[in-house]
Every structure is written in structure tokens, then in C-alpha cells.
Amino acid sequence: MGYLELRGISKSYVRNARAPSQANGKLPVLRDVNLNIDENEFVCVVGRSGSGKTTLISLIAGLIESDLGEILLEGKPIDGPSPDRGVVFQNYSLLPWMTVFENVYLAVDAVGRNLAKAEKRERTEHYIRLVNLSAAMKKVPRELSGGMRQRVAVARGLAMDPKVLLLDEPFSALDALTRATLQEELGRIWMATRKTVVMITNDIDEAILLADSIYTLAPGPGATLGPAVRVDAPHPRSRAQLGGAPGYQRVRRETVSLLVTGGKDRAGHGTPAQGGIALN
């Protein structure tokens, strides 16, 4: 049994009345999604836009409910949203009327109500330091660049001290250079905290750089997860290191092919593909 487990999750949305191609008027987004994640594992779910990635993360976060199936954390079914599944939202969702410190403090305060004020302050500063934003502590989100805002969102996610950290395409709105920096930094932060992470992304290289296992979400409607592709390279990884590694191209090819056939190719279901990257 995994640490975080998704069993037969299906989710449909009510379809637009003007496009009645589906008989029951419902648009299936996810169909029979099964996922087993170990503690301290970094998992990436890769899919194209519109494949139900955000739906998947919202389900795990408890922000929406599935039609079928259940989600278990440490063997117990989840019940609505909770800080034990901290979310870093795609568009940061920082509160614009609060400073960086206050945004992170809100999370520290929410999970540690009984702590002394000084202790809460200390923790808040710790998480801000972890994402290298100590200098911007007193600034409001409006004064920060996109990359800095996303760092604040990551700090807030970590400040919830979650059992599982959920990242919903955290870097998709950033320019390529900032994205590359933040990806490597996330790897470093993960090394320091060793949280269980589920990250949604549309960037295969990002997934290979960070994840222990990559799952593909075949294009919807009715998307389902393909088998895991293992990335067995030691952390922390760097782009330069990975590019020349022998297994890299194979992992990449495998992921791409799963992205194309994934949901429909039931033959491969359940048997993890072997795709270790040998790094020296």
C-alpha cells in the first residue's frame, strides 16, 4: 500500500448544453485513475493542456470531489481540503494585500495555532530563507517578478508542513531562464525537506530533472494514467549532467510515446516500464 493512493478515480463535468455529442451530457475528464506514491517520493504527472491535470491535483487537494473511487493518504480516505496536502497553485494565488512574510505566516499560523508568536515568526522566516527571498520579506506580491511570486507560493506550500506537497504546473507562467533556475532550486529544496511531492507539468524535461517516477496522462476526454516511468538518477540533478547521460534519451522517448498512446494502450498497464538513467 502506498503513502498516497488513488483508487479508480473518475471525474466528469457537466457538458456545455450546446455541444451534446455525449449522450449523458457529461464530459468525462478522468477515467479510472490509479496511482500509488511512496513516502518521500517525487512524482511528476505529465500531460498536455486540457488532459485533466489540474482536475487531478484539485481532486488530491480535496478542492473538488471525484464521482467514483477514493483517495487515501496514509491509508485513510481524504476528507476535503487540508494543509496536510499543501498546494502550490499554477497562478500563485498569493493574497495581494499581504506582504511576503504575511502570506507565508498565514500558512504557518494555520497549521501551528498553538505555537508561540516568536516561534511562528521564526518558522516563517525559515521558509522564506529556504526559497532565497529574505530580502523581499516586506514586499507585497505586486512588487515581485513572476519567479519571485512563485517562490513565495512554494514557501507557503512548504510552510503548511504538508504530508504531500502538490504542485500544479508551478513554472508554466515563467520565462525559460527563470524556469530553469527555479526547477533546479526546487530540486535543492526537495533535497532539504524530502517531502512527498506530486507535481503536474507539461514539460517532459522538467519531469525528468525532478521526478523519481513519471506518469503520463493521455489526452482527454476520459484520460487515464499510463504506467510509471522510473528515473533512477540520484538527486540533486542538473540539466548539464542529465543531457549527456545514456538513459536520458530512452526515458524521454518512452515518456513521449506513452503520452501519445498512454490511455488507450491497456497492454502496458500496471507493468512499470524500466527506464533507469545511469549516471556516474
Stretch that binds other proteins, among 33-41, 74-82, 183-191, 239-247 (CB under 8 A): 74-82
DSSP annotation of 272 reads P
Name the strand (E) or helix (H) holding 209: helix 204-210
Q: Would you say 69 or 112 has its CB closer to other proteins? A: 112
CB of 176 to other proteins, least distance (A): 25
Instruction: Kindly state whether residue 89 participates in binding other proteins, applying the rule CB under 8 A.
Output: yes
Locate the DSSP E strands across 15-89: 26-37, 42-47, 68-73, 76-77, 85-88
Stretch that binds other proteins, among 81-89, 131-139, 202-210, 241-249 (CB under 8 A): 81-89
Q: Would you say 165 or 218 has its CB closer to other proteins? A: 165
Stretch that binds other proteins, among 86-94, 180-188, 219-227, 258-266 (CB under 8 A): 86-94
Instruction: Kindly state whether residue 202 participates in binding other proteins, applying the rule CB under 8 A.
Output: no
Distance, CA of 167 to CA of 154 (rounded, Å): 8
Among 61, 165, 217, 225, binds other proteins (CB under 8 A): 61
- Contact partners, residue 209, CB within 8 Å, separation at least 6: 183, 184, 187, 237, 239, 242
CA of residue 260 relative to chain centroid, distance: 21
Q: Are 228 and 58 in contact (CB under 8 A)?
A: no
Interface ranges with other proteins (CB under 8 A): 61, 63, 80-83, 85-87, 89, 91, 93, 95-98, 106-107, 110-111, 140, 142, 160
